Chains A and B, each alone.
Chain A
Amino acid sequence: MTFDLSEEEKIESPQGSEENIKSEILTVNMGPQHPATHGVLRVEIKTDSEIVTEAISHIGYLHRCFEKHAENIDYRGVIPFVDRMDYVAAMNMEHGYVMAVEKLLGTEVPRRAEYIRVLVAELQRIASHLMFFGTYSIDLGAFTPFLYAFQEREFILRIFEELSGARLLYNYIWIGGVWNDITDGQLKRLSGFCDKMEREIDKYHNLVGLNKIFVERTARVGVMDEDLCYDYGLTGPILRGSGVKWDLRKDRPYSIYSEFDFDIPVGTGEHGVLGDCWDRYWVRMREMLESIKIIRQVLEGIEAGPVMGKVSKIIKPPKSEIYLRTECPRGELGYYLIADGGKVPYRVKVKSSCFTHVSVLSAVAPGLMIADLVATIGSIDIVLGEVDR
């Protein structure tokens, strides 16, 4: 194919350019079935050639009205439903809900059960961040990292399968403790996993995070500063990526997190601007290392004992209400629970971090290239099950 330069010059020349080249706003639908939207999210994009001028998110394709279901089932029956919100971090979902109910009941949870809870929650955090790492690479056009990430994630899912019988939706953390005890053999395998995982994360970062193409695609893209985060209520790795040292596990400790020693990684803007996609990626990678630190301390500190506390057969919290938030892989998850003294919760309201995170898209998108919008959506790391609930 020949390329006629003189033709191109003719178009760019001032004469006739206004007549021949017309600029028009084009509406493009991204989704709902689009691999780059991580589920059934539809983003209506108004584009001026490659540049996004407006992005309107449409959600609700996965809406099951979990909150209505919860009004009709007893307190234990809600646990499998909360699993299905963020289905790649189900352990963290259960942990928050169960703690809220226990607070109302005043249940004492055995030490060993608390340790196991922290252990599975941190393992789930690693698995979830690995999922982010894999799918984000695919978003940016690299397929191989996905296979690396899923190899390690598979180990965690195997452990969870042995513990609970399920690979994704566990129903493992119960009111009063956990369903099943962990064996010494499993703890030993986890200790080996920790050593391996540290090396792996280093490898991933060298393979992907420092890759020139990856840096070019993510640095200075989708910048969210601190004020924007507060304005939209963004939490978790996004807030930390913007340089705010805020982690509920440290700042409002729940469970037994106050006993562990770990750091809060924050974004530094070392490859671009503070709060860009690369910072969010880097925060998640370092969070995995911190999770490994916590897991090591759990493996050292865990003692023999029961894994289920004393809970009455019928759970009936007194008339009360509670708002409890926990730090999940994707951000803060809050349960606002209203009990009326009956067998079923009167109201379970979930503060979903993903829901608020999607809402920020319309503020960040204008001015981005379409490909950069894909990179931004990927870096927010949403799970539509939690957005729509």
Chain B
Amino acid sequence: MHEELVQIINGAVPEAKAQLNSAEIGDSSITVDSSAIYKVCETLKNNDKFNFNVLQVISGTDFLPEGEEGYLELAYILASFTKNHEVIIKTKLSRGSDDNLPKIDSLCKLWSAANWLERETYDMIGVDFVGHPDLRRILTSSNWEGHPLRRDYVVQEIFNGMVVNPPEKMNLEDQQFGVKTNADSLSNKNPMGI
């Protein structure tokens, strides 16, 4: 199925440069160029044979190997409820910076579901969806700083005049039940092999 989808995408949207990542374990996926994501999804949605009519997930992952620049990977998971298919479309973005978030086209015109999914991705991973009608934070507070699912995320220290994670209230291991040795001995005899 995936080879055929790659052909369909490359036939309709040549600038997408779709590539197949076939996997022996788990799921295969298709990588496309980030500039063509709207057209790719439009093609897949309107394709008669596959008819991917539901946008299930927009997921962002931050890949940040040590010493390298790293990149963001967005995964759009589409499903067809009429023909019973499902596909993972991936695209890579640069990580950008706090005041210059990476940009990608919004899919709100294709699916209303994209509205909240993109807001979540913006909130958690920090991607600017161009053309989104109402790009606000959704899970965190509107004046929260940073994007929690980035690998280099550091929790802000002061929020609305309150100290975030004050040390005396943190459930640190050695403060748990006030017994330091207890926690140490527990981790030695860890039955789960963690």
Contact = CB atoms under 8 A, between A and B. Distances in A.
Given A67-B149, A322-B26, A349-B57, A74 B192 contact: yes
Nearest to A62: B139
A313 B25 contact: no
B84 interface: yes
B131 to A, nearest CB: 17
Contacts of A342: none
Contact of B81 (A60, A244, A313): A244
Interface string B92-111: 00000000000000000001
Interface in A302-321: 313-314, 317-318, 320-321
Interface in B129-180: 138-141, 148-149, 153
A338 B77 CA distance: 14
B116 interface: yes
Interface residues of B, number: 36
Given A232-B112, A233-B111, A336-B59, A323 B139 contact: no
A389 B116 CA distance: 14
A356 interface: yes
Interface residues of A, number: 48
Interface in A88-127: 103-104, 106
Interface SS of chain A: helix, strand, loop or mixed?
mixed
A325 B77 CA distance: 11
B25 A318 contact: yes
A231 B117 CA distance: 13
B36 interface: no
B113 A356 contact: yes
B116 A359 contact: yes
A351 B25 contact: no
Given A63-B140, A321-B27, 15 more contacts: A68-B149, A77-B192, A77-B194, A231-B112, A231-B113, A317-B25, A323-B86, A325-B56, A338-B61, A349-B57, A349-B61, A349-B75, A351-B56, A356-B117, A359-B115
Interface of A: 59-60, 63, 65, 67-68, 71, 74, 76-77, 103-104, 106, 230-233, 239, 244, 246, 251-252, 313-314, 317-318, 320-323, 325, 332, 334, 336, 338-339, 343, 346-347, 349, 351, 355-356, 358-359, 363, 388-389
27 contacts: A60-B138, A60-B140, A60-B141, A63-B139, A63-B140, A65-B139, A65-B149, A68-B153, A103-B25, A104-B26, A232-B111, A246-B81, A317-B25, A318-B25, A322-B27, A323-B86, A325-B56, A334-B77, A336-B77, A339-B26, A347-B61, A349-B75, A351-B56, A351-B57, A355-B120, A356-B117, A358-B116
- Chain A to chain B: the 7 pairs with minimum beta-carbon distance, closest first: A320-B26, A233-B113, A313-B193, A322-B26, A349-B59, A359-B116, A60-B139
